[in-house]
Amino acid sequence: MEGEWDMKTDVLIIGGGVIGCGIAHQLCKYNFDIMLVEKEADVCMGTSKANSSMLHDGYNVDKTKLKGQLVLKSTKELYQKMAEELHFDLNICGSLLPGFVEADWDAIYHQFQMSAENDIRGVRIVGQKELHELEPHMNPAAKFALFNPNTGVLNPFELTIALGEHAVQNGAKVLLNTEVTGINSSGGRVTSVVTDRGIIEAKVVINAAGLFSDHVAGMVETIDYTVKPRKGVYFLYDKQYGTYIKRAIYSTPTTVSKGLIMLPTTEGNLLCGSNAIMHDEKDDLSTDLESLNHIYAEAIHKYYPELPRMGDVTTIFAGNRAASNTEDFIIGHSKNVRGMINLIGIQSPGLSSVPAIADMVEDLVREVGENLNFGIKDYYNPTRPKPIVLRELSYQERADYIAENPDYGTIICRCETVSKGEILDAIRRPIPATDLDAIKRRTRAGMGRCQGGFCGPRVVGILEKELGISPLEVTKKGKDSYILSMQAKELALQEGGSSNEKVIL
């Protein structure tokens, strides 16, 4: 195959979700080359961008499963240290599993027993009075609850981008818009990865392709597992309800889900969802009325009856979990090809298990990387510079930044108070934002109540000028998701006007 380029690296990671970026973050301290390839126009484009954003402590997991063992190793203290070093938002707010009737008691008490078996401290059952002190707006009919003070909420966009950017700052390369189409091996050992842009030679290949990890694993050998998407739908409420719920609230768990959830996001919104529907289309992120009605009736209205069905719902969306047919994580070496490491079925609690997963993968890399130098780089920096977020600063701090750079004084997104300077920063960051959704994930421009109605055209203009492209080339999320179809001048000519006429759209 002849592509745009042919390259070499020591370790090649396939997939730019939170797992792939977490592994890059883990390995970037060592004296060998790391490259990460992602088929989309940005990292955090799959399961990592559409999930419940919860940090579970594993109080209710099955310790006989690998996913249970790994989440128990990924403590909140590890995440708090990561948040301090990499600067992403994390709120250890606690969680409640409320009960209304006697039939709920068995499920709640069983979860309490599991927390003791898993050695999770602080979990206790609270009565009606304390429950409503903890959650004043909850349905008065709720009589008792399991309270876990260790549960957290984080921003999965911030986490994934922070992990990836930290790796780049320490020498890793991230190649976006690069799809893997094949993997070559010789003598029972991986030799290179074929992409739609060229061939990359590698000593170790790590398959962190999420929903498509079974497809990638099947490029080198016959596999005996599958990954199917399990869809979940979410409501996102406007910031006026951001403090309405204080903690993460679980509904009664099911055989395929920890239950529906309601929680305050780290950005001041209210997130409610999600159901769990198995289907076959890995790219299908559509929402449906039946799911929305179910979530509202069984969770939102049941626990917080004053919350509206719509009206103050800013948006609805869906995400696909990468569920394996084993209902467990599958992490290990390829059976027949040395140097190939697969991560399969990393669904919940994958987000909560990143540190332990990355540790495990490092051990696997050490087992096959005989020629890799695991000495620490002289220039390695364990911290990532904190991005400027104007809305979080005092008036004096804002004034100081604006005095130094007037672009911070030009507000582009009024709903979220995002400046032109912050958008330019996002475009120039180690993993650059080159489309509207990438800007949104880094700055929140377009995430407010008007959903980009005001700032969208302005962000298009900034991308046009900063990237040196036509406005017709600006996309929503890469590839063919163009924002504009033609120039006003062309529209005038189509409608019979002269080329000198002005058309106001």
Residue partners of 363: CB distance under 8 A and separation at least 6: none
For residues 356 and 293, what is the distance between their CA atoms, to the nearest angstrom?
Answer: 37
Active-site residue among 56, 87, 110, 301?
56
Identify which of 314, 316, 350, 304 has the alpha carbon closest to the alpha carbon of residue 331.
Answer: 350
Decide if 14 contacts 212 (C-beta within 8 A). Answer: no
CB crowding 134-161: b at 16 or more within 10 Å, else e: bbebbeeebbbbbbbbbbbbbbbbbbbb
φ/ψ bin of 87: left (φ > 0), alpha (ψ from -120 to 50), beta (otherwise): left
Q: Which helix (H) or strand (E) holds 169?
A: helix 156-169
Decide if 328 contacts 349 (C-beta within 8 A). Answer: no
| Torsion over CA: 97, 297, 234, 444 (sign) | negative
Identify which of 348, 316, 305 has the alpha carbon closest to the alpha carbon of residue 329.
Answer: 348
For residues 64 and 302, what is the distance between their CA atoms, to the nearest angstrom?
Answer: 34
Q: Which helix (H) or strand (E) holds 362?
A: helix 354-368
166 is catalytic: no
| Torsion over CA: 485, 490, 491, 495 (sign) | negative
Catalytic center residues: 56
